[in-house]
Structure 1
Amino acid sequence: MSRSSLLMLGALLALCACHANLLPVPTRPAEDPDFTVEAVPEPAGMEPVAPGTFRLQPGDVLALRTISPAPLEVPRLSVDDAGLLHAPLTGAVPVAGASLEEAETRLQERLRRFDRFGIVSLTVVEPAGHRASVLGAISKPGTYTLGGLTRVSDLLAMAGGLKWTEGDAEAVELADLEAARLLRDGEPLPISIPRALTGDARHDVPVAPRDVLFVPALRGATVRVLGEVRGPRLVSWRQGLRLSEALALAQGLTSDADAADVRVIRGPLSAPRFYQARFTDLLQGRATDVELARGDIVFVTKHWFASGTEVLQRLLPLLAVGTAFAL
């Protein structure tokens, strides 16, 4: 057996110890004398701005029509990589960064040599130059066209949301949303993606062409919920995550669960700390909900008649699966 397996087995043996040897779990991780809270500053956000004018970008496809006794109509014209529009009789006209009205004026000036009274009309057929990329641990990574005002939350929804994997024992969220960033011109914007998903206007900012939303894979930012719950799983950890929330995300307790004996394992398996939470006291208003720490393992035991061997047989493979996903 490997050293990591031995450490895991030792931790589980301690987990199955008598209730009397377990301390109550601290209400907040900061109250745990052996737990160090890592301060992670949250981005300040950006001042909300009014939606700007549509500006042409390389790749946009336009339709050209002139209102004239000798009308001209071209159903598809693309702005090339140099930002130029090549229309009949006008030659190459620079339009990148221009509004539709400005582009119409530039083309109309070129056409005056051939049609003194013609009026140019441009319409957008396909805003293919207005695209943003979504990369990382999301369901459908790729490049997406920004049809009108598109905010960060809209772009993430277009990409199918965060990436998950389904297993026999757990449904695992594989994305670290806390560490996700929106990059513009190669620099991260000072916004929080989780705050953007709550609709906070300072963080749910409009996406600009060529922006990149990067959502990294999960690296330890989890709480594992195992044992007598209906849906054992890895829960994505965030600051302030409560025991009741983690259990709810695991679809609640089974009929065999001992709600008075919920174990919390904190710290590395080489030197774990073991606590007990009486969830029955919380449900009856006699206790404060417990705030969980990054990397905690929550294990809901059976009623008193469950043997330690049964607990070990059930917990060891589940914990091993969770450890594999965390690597």
Structure 2
Amino acid sequence: AKGIRVEIPLRGASVKGWGITGEGMEVLFTAKPRTPAPGSAYQMGVGDRLDISVFGQDDLKATLEVLADGTVSFPLIGVMPVAGRTLAEVRAAVETRMKEFLVDPQVSLDIKDYQSQPVNVVGEVEKPGTYYLKGPTTLMDIMAQAGWMTKDAGSEIIITRHEAGSGTDGGTRQIPISKDDLLQGGTQYNPRLQSGDVITVGATQYFYIRGEVVKPGQYKLEDRPTLMKAVSIAEGLTPYARKKGIEIIRTVSGSQTKLVFDLKSIEERKASDVPLLPGDVIIVPRRLF
């Protein structure tokens, strides 16, 4: 029998094609248009892999990769540029081209593997590695994929971003995000990521305070502490402490340096307070009398 095609509206769907062949009958149901899924605005790029199929045309089913020049070689219609275009745009273009060869082609096109927009997560997370953006993706989204932070994670997350510049290499910019701010929410603390971003979660860093303080020991280097704040964290000076001649032993590139400060001058605002660095050792001397 000769094939016939009809369109019959149904409740919630329509029969777009009805073909009678020697092997039987084919019916295609097309549901009402759905709200675009999250990530539907994703723009395809080099390395992405696509699954394509055409209803009733098994020989046109294939998995294709976006090549280095941003094109894909589709079955039947040949090469087409897709980089920088959304899935909906490419699907519509493919259907238009296929109409030159087929009657009312029903094309199914999906992204099988997202490979063109990588971000790297390194440091103190449960699953460090390379992740791929699948549309608008925030820092919190990627942190969730990476299993969040380990117990040894510090208080700050650094996003290193490549910036376009006048030269061929451009430059980089670092965006610090406080872990507490990220957890509290707000778009300013949960930025949208870009392809090529590197997210670094450092380990907890410490400073050390010894000598004439109430509670000498090791403390977390959080909220950019200073010498005065460190003394406060250690619950203050003992009655025998000498404010003049407090030492900070600092190690930079494997070399130790001794810095000497007068805490009284800092308290009286005659001298600037001293920001601490990771690994600083503060030594509060004892009065001789």
TM normalised by structure 1 equals 0.49
List per-residue Cα deviations over 1:186-212 (Å, max 9, x = no partner): 544574322556534124211122333
- The aligned amino acid for 1:106 is A
Report the Cα distance in structure 1 between the residues aligned to 2:231 and 2:191, rounded to whole angstroms.
32
In the alignment, which residue of structure 1 is the partner of 2:192?
206
Report the Cα distance in structure 2 between the residues aligned to 1:56 and 1:274, rounded to whole angstroms.
60
In the TM superposition, what is the alpha-carbon distance from 1:99 to its structure 2 partner? 0.7
RMSD: 4.8
Counterpart pick for 2:92 among 105, 114, 117: 105
Counterpart pick for 1:56 among 27, 31, 44: 44
- The answer to whether the Cα contact below 8 Å between 1:181 and 1:214 also exists between their aligned partners in 2 is yes
Counterpart pick for 1:235 among 210, 220, 224: 220
Counterpart pick for 1:182 among 160, 163, 180: 160
Query: Which deviates more, 93-102 or 131-140?
Result: 131-140
| Percent of residue pairs identical | 22
In the alignment, which residue of structure 2 is the partner of 1:117?
104
- The aligned amino acid for 1:92 is V
* Alpha-carbon distance change, 87 to 51 in structure 1, aligned in 2, over 3 angstroms: closer
- The aligned amino acid for 1:236 is L
* Alpha-carbon distance change, 85 to 144 in structure 1, aligned in 2, over 3 angstroms: same
For this pair of structures, how many residues does the alignment match? 217
- The answer to whether the Cα contact below 8 Å between 2:43 and 2:135 also exists between their aligned partners in 1 is no
In the TM superposition, what is the alpha-carbon distance from 1:104 to its structure 2 partner? 0.6
In the alignment, which residue of structure 2 is the partner of 1:223?
207
Report the Cα distance in structure 2 between the residues aligned to 1:231 and 1:102, rounded to whole angstroms.
65
Report the Cα distance in structure 1 between the residues aligned to 2:216 and 2:59, rounded to whole angstroms.
64
- The aligned amino acid for 1:91 is G
Report the Cα distance in structure 2 between the residues aligned to 1:231 and 1:83, rounded to whole angstroms.
61
In the TM superposition, what is the alpha-carbon distance from 1:299 to its structure 2 partner? 7.8
* Alpha-carbon distance change, 196 to 114 in structure 1, aligned in 2, over 3 angstroms: same
- Kindly indicate whether structure 1 or structure 2 has the higher relative contact order, using CA contacts under 8 Å at least 6 residues apart: 1
Indicate whether 1:89 and 2:76 are aligned: yes
In the alignment, which residue of structure 2 is the partner of 1:40?
none
In the alignment, which residue of structure 1 is the partner of 2:26?
none
**For the pair shown, which has the larger CA radius of gyration, 1 or 2?**
2
Structure 1 or 2: larger helix share? 1
Indicate whether 1:193 and 2:177 are aligned: yes
TM normalised by structure 2 equals 0.54
List per-residue Cα deviations over 1:265-314 (Å, max 9, x = no partner): 554473434769xxxxxxxxxxxxxx9841464689xxxxxxx9xxxxxx
List per-residue Cα deviations over 1:37-59 (Å, max 9, x = no partner): xxxxxxxxxxxxx9882111212
In the TM superposition, what is the alpha-carbon distance from 1:240 to its structure 2 partner? 5.6
In the TM superposition, what is the alpha-carbon distance from 1:103 to its structure 2 partner? 0.6
In the TM superposition, what is the alpha-carbon distance from 1:118 to its structure 2 partner? 0.3
- The answer to whether the Cα contact below 8 Å between 2:48 and 2:111 also exists between their aligned partners in 1 is yes
- The aligned amino acid for 2:221 is S
**Which residues of structure 2 form unaligned runs of 5+?**
1-37, 164-169, 251-257, 265-272
